A and B are shown apart, each in its own frame.
Chain A
Amino acid sequence: MPILEGEGVTKHFGGLAAVSRVDFGVGQGEVVGLIGPNGAGKTTLFNLISGALVPKAGSIRFNGENITGLKPHKICRMGVARTFQSVKVFANMPAFENVLLGSLFGCSTGTSSAAATREATDLLEFMGLSAVSAIPAKDLTLGNQKRLEVARALATKPELLLLDELMAGLNHTEVAEAMELVTRIREQGITVFMIEHVMKAIMSVCDRIMVLHHGEKLAEGTPEEIAASKTVIEVYLGE
């Protein structure tokens, strides 16, 4: 059974169909990539899944449960965590507190302060951020801020992690590190659904790729199939 399923998901902004009748499915333990030109509706789709936006039509199910139109904090507590395209960290708070908030509030079962502190410390370690844990998030490098976002998302103990352009703006070394990070997250049994523009990364990390164009699903398949698909190449490079 897929962990995440969407059926005919639609969202309009005024007259523009940002996402139009999109069906999708993400299997347990998979790493699925979501690609498409700018304005294709990728982030809008993530916003619909995470509850930031409510779809006009269609339904989204997580673990078989209908989560369409639920409040974002509820969806987060059910086990869907996300990061943001433009980094959103709690700028004036130390890195540690950024992650601690995820541990304290992101879990449906509730966490004691001591357990949350331990979790946050471990996660900072896992992300290689122990050295900067006391530094305000705004003073971290972009790469570290992105790691911090991932750490905060992981602190909510998700089953599904939505990564919105994790690698945008990172240099070569950082991209390699981020790719390795995605693999390590998957090894923990967390399903990953990721928007990415760095083709090298997405081709090597993902099991499956879905292509959006003008809000509609254009193609879906393994990285090899997508790389060979004529329609996808046309969308990206022109005819």
Chain B
Amino acid sequence: MNTTRVDLRKVWVPGLLLIILVLLAALPVRRPGYTVILVGSILVYIVLTVSWVIFSGPTGYISLAPAAFFGVGMYASAVLGMALPLPVVICIGGLASSCLALAVGALTLRLRGIYFAIFTFGLVELIKHLLLWYEINMTGTRGRFVVLVDNNTIYYVMLAILVMTLLAAYLIRRSRYGLALQSIGQDEEAAVHAGINVTALKIVTFGISAVFVGAAGAIWATQLTYIDPYIAFNPLNSFMPVLMAIFGGVGQLYGPILGAAVLAYSREVLITEFPYYYMLLFGIMLVVAILYLPHGLVGLMQKLWLRVSGGQHANT
């Protein structure tokens, strides 16, 4: 009945993605300067949000660890940036974050619900304060400078990381492991009794999702030129992906992308236009979204689509 629609999708979804990718890739040539930095920062938030959704979306384990993984990537970049070439630094940033995620996952993924959320949030604070203690007592200085990289390189690296993140998210989602992750979110006990090694699956997925966050942190740090534990392990970087994913709607892959893009852009605009009221306005936006968009932007779009198409597919 809707085979024609499915066939159409097979053509226009990849086509649309390709066009967007080409446009994004051409951006530094056509609009250099501030636009590149602005779009680059939006790309960072999309990476953070989509990697968060890879693990937390299907399983329902709310992780507040992204800031920890992001920060580890930043510090990898700050410590190694002078000594090693950029691609190596970025890989190390991603791997270091992933190792942290695997270790933390092995320790804590037996915790469920709010306990897991609180622990992961505690992790961010723990690393931040450990680093502060180390810097003050051992090196005697707080913070470090990061090697400079030009804006266009940062942008292209960011874009490459984003493409890899999306690819990973898509492949995991459509694989049997994506289905298994979903079943963990629905009923973990039933999942384990259906033969799914839930512990291993959760830990590995958590580790994979952290790679991209760490890599993004490593390249992002070069744009900041100076970082200290407060900047690198800013708890906002943990909350933003959660808010952006919920704002976009976690049911579909394009939901978190949309949510991250819209919120990250509004955040930039609000910061530049209303520096004093930015947090207030941003907060109001979120409250309104949560009250009136229970299924996020995706839910809104689906509702509109139904209205446009006259609801003829409502019962299929």
For B189, what are the chain A residues with a Cβ–Cβ distance below 8 Å?
52, 84, 88
Alpha-carbon distance between A101 and B198 when the two chains are bound, in angstroms = 13
- Asked if A73 CB lies within 8 Å of chain B CBs, one says yes
- Asked if A36 CB lies within 8 Å of chain B CBs, one says no
Q: Tell whether, in the assembled complex, residue B186 and residue A102 are in contact, meaning their CB atoms are under 8 Å apart.
A: no
A93-109 vs B, CB cutoff 8 Å, 1 = contact: the mask equals 10001001110111100
Question: How many Å from the CB of A180 to the closest CB on chain B?
Answer: 24
- Asked if B196 CB lies within 8 Å of chain A CBs, one says yes
Q: Tell whether, in the assembled complex, residue B187 and residue A90 are in contact, meaning their CB atoms are under 8 Å apart.
A: yes
Interface of B: prevailing SS: helix
CB contacts under 8 Å to A, within B192-222, are 192-199
- Please tell me which one of the listed residues B187, B195, B197 contacts residue A88 in the complex, with CB atoms under 8 A apart: B187
Question: How many Å from the CB of B38 to the closest CB on chain A?
Answer: 37
Interface of A: prevailing SS: helix
Q: For residue B182, which residue of chain A has the nearest CB?
A: A93
- Please tell me which one of the listed residues B180, B197, B199 contacts residue A101 in the complex, with CB atoms under 8 A apart: B180
Q: Tell whether, in the assembled complex, residue A97 and residue B194 are in contact, meaning their CB atoms are under 8 Å apart.
A: no
Question: How many Å from the CB of A69 to the closest CB on chain B?
Answer: 15
For A153, what are the chain B residues with a Cβ–Cβ distance below 8 Å?
194
Question: How many Å from the CB of B223 to the closest CB on chain A?
Answer: 40
Q: Tell whether, in the assembled complex, residue B182 and residue A52 are in contact, meaning their CB atoms are under 8 Å apart.
A: no
A157-174 vs B, CB cutoff 8 Å, 1 = contact: the mask equals 000000000000000000
- Please tell me which one of the listed residues A91, A92, A102 contacts residue B194 in the complex, with CB atoms under 8 A apart: A102
- Asked if A50 CB lies within 8 Å of chain B CBs, one says yes
Question: How many Å from the CB of B110 to the closest CB on chain A?
Answer: 12
For A84, what are the chain B residues with a Cβ–Cβ distance below 8 Å?
189-190, 193
Question: How many Å from the CB of A92 to the closest CB on chain B?
Answer: 6
Assuming the A-B contacts A73-B195, A106-B195, are A89 and B190 also in contact, with contact meaning beta carbons closer than 8 angstroms in the complex?
Answer: yes
For A149, what are the chain B residues with a Cβ–Cβ distance below 8 Å?
190
- Asked if A76 CB lies within 8 Å of chain B CBs, one says yes
CB contacts under 8 Å to A, within B152-210, are 176, 179-180, 182-183, 186-187, 189-199
For A68, what are the chain B residues with a Cβ–Cβ distance below 8 Å?
none
For A89, what are the chain B residues with a Cβ–Cβ distance below 8 Å?
186-187, 190
Question: How many Å from the CB of B120 to the closest CB on chain A?
Answer: 24
- Asked if A21 CB lies within 8 Å of chain B CBs, one says no
Q: Tell whether, in the assembled complex, residue A101 and residue B187 are in contact, meaning their CB atoms are under 8 Å apart.
A: no
Q: Tell whether, in the assembled complex, residue A105 and residue B193 are in contact, meaning their CB atoms are under 8 Å apart.
A: no
Q: Tell whether, in the assembled complex, residue A104 and residue B176 are in contact, meaning their CB atoms are under 8 Å apart.
A: yes
Q: Tell whether, in the assembled complex, residue A105 and residue B182 are in contact, meaning their CB atoms are under 8 Å apart.
A: no
For A113, what are the chain B residues with a Cβ–Cβ distance below 8 Å?
176
Alpha-carbon distance between A116 and B175 when the two chains are bound, in angstroms = 13
Q: Tell whether, in the assembled complex, residue A91 and residue B186 are in contact, meaning their CB atoms are under 8 Å apart.
A: yes
Alpha-carbon distance between A106 and B197 when the two chains are bound, in angstroms = 10
Question: How many Å from the CB of A79 to the closest CB on chain B?
Answer: 10
Alpha-carbon distance between A89 and B269 when the two chains are bound, in angstroms = 45
For A81, what are the chain B residues with a Cβ–Cβ distance below 8 Å?
193
- Asked if A217 CB lies within 8 Å of chain B CBs, one says no
For B197, what are the chain A residues with a Cβ–Cβ distance below 8 Å?
71, 73, 105
- Asked if A152 CB lies within 8 Å of chain B CBs, one says yes
Q: For residue B188, which residue of chain A has the nearest CB?
A: A88
Alpha-carbon distance between A156 and B176 when the two chains are bound, in angstroms = 15
Q: Tell whether, in the assembled complex, residue A105 and residue B186 are in contact, meaning their CB atoms are under 8 Å apart.
A: no
Alpha-carbon distance between A77 and B193 when the two chains are bound, in angstroms = 9
Assuming the A-B contacts A91-B186, A93-B186, are A102 and B195 also in contact, with contact meaning beta carbons closer than 8 angstroms in the complex?
Answer: yes
- Asked if A72 CB lies within 8 Å of chain B CBs, one says yes
For B195, what are the chain A residues with a Cβ–Cβ distance below 8 Å?
73, 76-77, 102, 105-107, 156
Question: How many Å from the CB of A134 to the closest CB on chain B?
Answer: 10
Assuming the A-B contacts A82-B193, A105-B194, are A91 and B187 also in contact, with contact meaning beta carbons closer than 8 angstroms in the complex?
Answer: yes
Q: Tell whether, in the assembled complex, residue A152 and residue B182 are in contact, meaning their CB atoms are under 8 Å apart.
A: no
Q: Tell whether, in the assembled complex, residue A72 and residue B182 are in contact, meaning their CB atoms are under 8 Å apart.
A: no
Q: For residue B175, which residue of chain A has the nearest CB?
A: A113
Q: Tell whether, in the assembled complex, residue A152 and residue B187 are in contact, meaning their CB atoms are under 8 Å apart.
A: no
Which residues does B use to contact A, with CB under 8 Å?
176, 179-180, 182-183, 186-187, 189-199
A-B contact pairs, 5 of them (CB 8 A): A82-B193, A88-B187, A90-B182, A90-B190, A152-B194
